[in-house]
Structure 1
Amino acid sequence: MTAPRTTAARFVATHTLLTLDARHPYVAKSLIDAQDMHRTVMSGFRGWVDDGSADARSQMAVLSTWTLNLREALLSLVVQSQVPGDWSRIPRAALAEEAVTLTLDRTFRIGDTVDFRTVVNPVRSLPPPSGSPEKTRGARVPHTRPDHVRTWFTRRLQPLGEPSVVEATGLTRLGADAHPDDLGVRMLPQVSSPSPHKGLRLTRAEIRGKLTVTDPAVFVQVLTRGLGHGRAYGCGLILVR
């Protein structure tokens, strides 16, 4: 017997907006090195988990996204987490403005409509070559065209009454629905990391539009944990209003 679907779910998190001087060396390094940007984000959460924990970001549900205003040389970095951050380790001269921290506490119900923006790492997995050892993972291939990114996102939409997981593929859905033609998609510059992370190259795309909540518990889980791959490097955070 299928359990009844939750009609409402509560989302609680901390959001911090950091406005940084893109000309400062501390910030400039983060812009050219995705691993350094990750360290900048995680520097606000020391002490919450044991040093060296492999899943520290996941334990604290830390997600982030950023935009760069080249004309004004400002980097706007939004960090979401389940624990409060301490940003005193960022050099004061690198901050163009004081950090702004908000506590989000919102209950979502079936039928609620929200505007959203997210930056994702849209990839598909290819099967491993024939004859590969058991449990060999297939290669991840990025989508580089807006229409393919729209299809990638649309597959994760969850119409009202449908399950949160697609049985045939195991794909986890969003807990929300949208009209694909109303989604705005824009390809963003790739981010990467030089040595010793030469293999780190992430294709990114921005998606904007409106979502209608169809499964509040699943929707809150996705808001909390993020969407897709690359969540340690500024992808997967869904901002709603």
Structure 2
Amino acid sequence: MYLTRFRINTARVTARRLLASPQNLHAAVMSSFAEAPPPAGDGGPRVLWRLDTTGDRAQTHLYIVSPDRPDLTHLVEQAGWPTTAPRGWTTYDYASLLTKINKGDRWRFRLTANPVHTARRRDDEPTKLTAHVGRTHQKQWLLDRQENAGFQIVEKPLEKRRLPEGDEHELVLHNRRQLTFRRGHPPKNVTLVTLTYDGLLEVTDPDAFRRTLTSGLGRAKAYGCGLMTLAPT
């Protein structure tokens, strides 16, 4: 497994076109591999990606986790700095980190996800996927998945809780986005709501947690959701 980091030159028109469409960016990411990645849905490792905008200069980075090492030459040409940064990306051996994960380890994490649930307006209507709107339900979406995903969000000490309820966990929700793009043939409009979670977790099941890191969490994995990255506490 590999973890790749690529900085996007947001001043370029082609870069802005990629950023505006998860469908186009997904296609660009998948074009980074000479051999077709393993099919999604088999529960094994898959290609995951995420966009992060951080820093005082609002730098935008693309992160990719993949079973094979990617070649992002085409992305450097379309959305990077082809003359001043000929390579333009950094790829790390992700497997070495995965093998060091143990029960009880604590990690800072970031996850961009598509927190949805099934709902219907009337009893005679079929259920449909609907995005969670309130922060309480958005937070609960992640808490409901933590056990099967092999981790638990660390709870704050009582003296650090600022609210009487809803502030029990080391978790921050931010950067809610609603994206509308076109997909399919004939093309149809698709609306995707994403949310970023930053927090502190403790590993409870190393094998399940490794699966979460390599196969993703939640829906819309092809469109920049589901990739959890870690940092030391």
TM-score tier (shorter): 0.7 to 0.9
Q: 1:218 aligns with which of 177, 188, 208?
A: 208
- 2:161 maps to which residue? none
Aligned-partner SS, 1:80 = strand
TM-score normalised over the length of structure 1: 0.76
Separation in 1, partners of 2:120, 2:78: 48
Deviation at 1:92, TM superposition (A): 2.6
1:85 aligned partner, one-letter code = P
Indicate conservation of the 8 Å contact 1:144/1:187, yes or no.
no
- 1:34 maps to which residue? 22
Indicate conservation of the 8 Å contact 2:14/2:78, yes or no.
no
CA RMSD of aligned residues (A): 2.8
- 1:22 maps to which residue? 10
Matches within 5 A, 1:1-241: 13-48=1-36, 55=40, 61-68=46-53, 72=57, 74-92=59-77, 94-96=79-81, 97=85, 98-104=88-94, 105-106=96-97, 107-126=100-119, 138-158=127-147, 173-178=148-153, 179=155, 180-194=168-182, 197-241=187-231
Separation in 2, partners of 1:151, 1:57: 26
Deviation at 1:128, TM superposition (A): 9.8
Deviation at 1:200, TM superposition (A): 1.7
Aligned-partner SS, 2:101 = strand
- Give the number of aligned pairs: 208
Separation in 2, partners of 1:91, 1:118: 25
Deviation at 1:198, TM superposition (A): 3.4
1:121 aligned partner, one-letter code = N
1:118 aligned partner, one-letter code = L
Instruction: Give the share of equivalent positions with the same residue, in percent.
Output: 24
- 1:166 maps to which residue? none
1:146 aligned partner, one-letter code = R
1:33 aligned partner, one-letter code = S
Larger CA deviation: 89-98 vs 231-240:
89-98
Deviation at 1:118, TM superposition (A): 0.5
Q: How has the CA–CA distance of structure 1 residues 45 and 56 changed in structure 2, closer, same or farther, with 3 Å as cutoff?
A: farther
Instruction: Kindly provide the CA deviation profile for residues 15-49 of structure 1, in whole angstroms up to 9, marking residues without a partner as x.
Output: 11111111212211111112111112112124335
Q: Which runs of 5+ in 1 are unaligned?
A: 1-12, 159-172
TM-score normalised over the length of structure 2: 0.78
Instruction: Kindly provide the CA deviation profile for residues 51-70 of structure 1, in whole angstroms up to 9, marking residues without a partner as x.
Output: xx974998761001112369
Separation in 2, partners of 1:34, 1:198: 14
Aligned-partner SS, 1:36 = helix
Deviation at 1:73, TM superposition (A): 6.6
1:125 aligned partner, one-letter code = T
Aligned-partner SS, 2:225 = coil
Separation in 1, partners of 2:170, 2:55: 28
Indicate conservation of the 8 Å contact 1:189/1:203, yes or no.
yes
Q: Which runs of 5+ in 2 are unaligned?
A: 156-167
Separation in 2, partners of 1:45, 1:146: 38
Aligned-partner SS, 2:31 = helix
